[in-house]
Structure 1
């Protein structure tokens, strides 16, 4: 409960209880105020009204995330301010969920008790050094994956960047911290990992999908043919399917909130929202699937949980699927059919690779995948194509000195 304590002749301490710190201890916010107005001091009623007003204002600052403990604000206290004034406004629910997970499990135990102004670059450098060497499995060191280190780095940088912008700290201790990068072992593993299917492998995949339930078959085909992200395909409703124009309007995606529940969310970028033309044969199959979908909807009757929503791919009762669900089914599907292992997201890579091998220009591929920058398309999706590389090498065959000598 908020309270007021008398401190000195003309000073009082305001106390407001907030949330809990990393150890589960209740956080108390304190502010000492002085009253020098003689007119207020002479009247008990006016003094009490003034103190109550200041207490209410102090409480509002805390609840709105505007309060910062003067000079001695700790990392744990500032995180609450950062979350209210930055993360909740600028980050997607799924990103917030991941960031807060790293904060609770990794950052608060190390930095939570430290004052923001006293955290130095070397503290953070030492922290990342310990992360790189932590973890043991079968008696052998097993450091965290670089991707995990990078996510922790991004979380910490977001917090300190905000602290610097808001003048909570005079300089940013993250400025001297190197961004985590893969070591030679990880680079070798990443290079060896299969990132896309060839034409033949894609054809084998489509044949294998004939044995799958209709909704899974059309889901994976949609990802492959349209270059959709998994959450984008989960978020498609029937009103987004344009049978006249022969394609799908991408408007939203299914993500997860901070509690791990599936929710509708904004797309990754502004460029992600677009109309994606699809092959005519796929649209014909979607039309047939829609008739089956409508029949199943009627049969469910009161068991339907989707309300007015009409997701093409749902949990069997009309509600949103978890984003992890198609990824889990994908891995099982590959094992069942003994197909080469690639990530579900790599079907999107495959879209670009197949189009590139058919001679489609990079700009068109960029527009289909809805990338913000052309460099993303070029760097991530085209440098692995064996066919394109082969064609480039074949163009140099004319320089063969033996062929030139024979022709002369």
Structure 2
């Protein structure tokens, strides 16, 4: 008879003995209890049903044994048991594409328990584009994450006794890439920020407020697209973030969950910006009343493409690129506004913890690694401190 072990939160491991196995007969599966089960009676009933279903599968021989399942055949189980529970549809799609395009042709036929660390290291060493050129580090990193997620699940579900990814080094940026990246502008400095904020007045109010808010609040592209008026609190002077506009598996725009649990939260904004947003809301409501074929339903997106319909996730990117080109402003990617927000915080003297909380990073290391690289102002201040060593200012200088 199957039994369960509580792994914390709503996560449980259900175990049953496989009667066909003399050694290591335990077969386990990880399940997630629905959060809407409030009473202990309902929780116990749900768990008992899951135990019964798992027991039936194991005893009936439906569970594929470790020595029989290949990497390719395990992917659908990983998708159903992990990816669908923990990833957005777009992220699932990217991971599945990378697995099927690059990994399955190389070792999808191998039994998952036979794939070694050396095999995976060799795979990454030989990984090349069809034209023989190296992949960008970011692409290799995405492939690495996909493979690691699959093996992490296989190890957690006790399908393998050792995780071969433990000895595989995370892809790192090469010197050549670093040199090329140094020539790419990642953020605006203070004076450039002032220029951009003034130039944005050439755009319609919705885009001016969208980009200004992104620059000041450090919002991710899809997060600010998903904000509704109910998420705007004028008394608090802040905007609530708990969803994003993203893609589903088929490339269609959808409203989905934010990147991480830590991404949810209130983001305080300057009073003058909230005042402008309030004025814009008045005009927004007038336009809605005048719209005869409103298609937004019960949604009230602050920024929409007309008739209340959510924007396509890439629309802000293309609009931003055209804006910079027209005004002859140095090109900074749309995500660079988030970097700019971090730089402005850094230059104003904010500590790392404050920056982490405002940018809603899961780990403070992410804030330190990505957003604390030298800005022009910080570098200038450091140099200015050395002016006292000018030989002409020293008492005994020749």
CA distance in 1, matches of 2:370, 2:335: 12
- Structure 1: state its 5+ residue gaps: 1-32, 34-56
Q: Identify which of 299, 312, 317 aligns with 1:327.
A: 317
Alignment-derived partner of residue 135 in structure 1: 130
Alignment-derived partner of residue 284 in structure 1: 275
1:199-245 deviation per Cα after TM superposition (whole angstroms, max 9, x unaligned): 22112212221111221111101101111111211111001111223
CA distance in 2, matches of 1:155, 1:384: 32
CA RMSD for the aligned pairs? 2.8
**Partner secondary structure for residue 317 of structure 2:** helix
- Tell me if structure 2 keeps the 8 A contact 1:135–1:143: no
Q: Identify which of 124, 147, 153 aligns with 1:156.
A: 147
Q: Note if 1:103 corresponds to 2:105.
A: no
Normalised by the length of structure 2, the TM-score is 0.79
CA distance in 1, matches of 2:234, 2:186: 32
User: What's the CA shift for 1:401?
Assistant: 4.5
1:111-158 deviation per Cα after TM superposition (whole angstroms, max 9, x unaligned): 232221232333323322232x3333xxxx532111000110111111
CA distance in 2, matches of 1:115, 1:371: 37
- Tell me if structure 1 keeps the 8 A contact 2:66–2:113: no
- Indicate the larger mover: 205-214 or 219-228: 205-214
Q: Quick check: which has more Rg, 1 or 2?
A: 1
CA distance in 1, matches of 2:57, 2:196: 57
Alignment-derived partner of residue 348 in structure 2: 358
1:318-345 deviation per Cα after TM superposition (whole angstroms, max 9, x unaligned): 2222222211221222122221111111
Alignment-derived partner of residue 115 in structure 2: 119
Query: Cα 1:395–1:87, aligned 2, differ >3 Å: closer, same or farther?
Result: same
User: What's the CA shift for 1:79?
Assistant: 0.8
- Tell me if structure 2 keeps the 8 A contact 1:227–1:349: yes
Q: Identify which of 77, 81, 84 aligns with 1:85.
A: 81
- Tell me if structure 2 keeps the 8 A contact 1:306–1:318: yes
Alignment-derived partner of residue 346 in structure 1: 336
- Indicate the larger mover: 359-368 or 271-280: 359-368
Query: Cα 1:170–1:280, aligned 2, differ >3 Å: closer, same or farther?
Result: closer
- Tell me if structure 2 keeps the 8 A contact 1:334–1:340: yes
CA distance in 2, matches of 1:374, 1:77: 37
Query: Cα 1:176–1:309, aligned 2, differ >3 Å: closer, same or farther?
Result: same
Normalised by the length of structure 1, the TM-score is 0.77
User: What's the CA shift for 1:406?
Assistant: 5.8
Query: Cα 1:371–1:123, aligned 2, differ >3 Å: closer, same or farther?
Result: closer
Q: Identify which of 262, 265, 268 aligns with 2:256.
A: 265
Moved over 6 A (4+): none
- Tell me if structure 1 keeps the 8 A contact 2:288–2:294: yes
**Partner secondary structure for residue 275 of structure 1:** strand
**Partner secondary structure for residue 110 of structure 2:** coil
CA distance in 2, matches of 1:282, 1:296: 21
Q: Note if 1:336 corresponds to 2:326.
A: yes
Q: Identify which of 71, 74, 77 aligns with 1:75.
A: 71
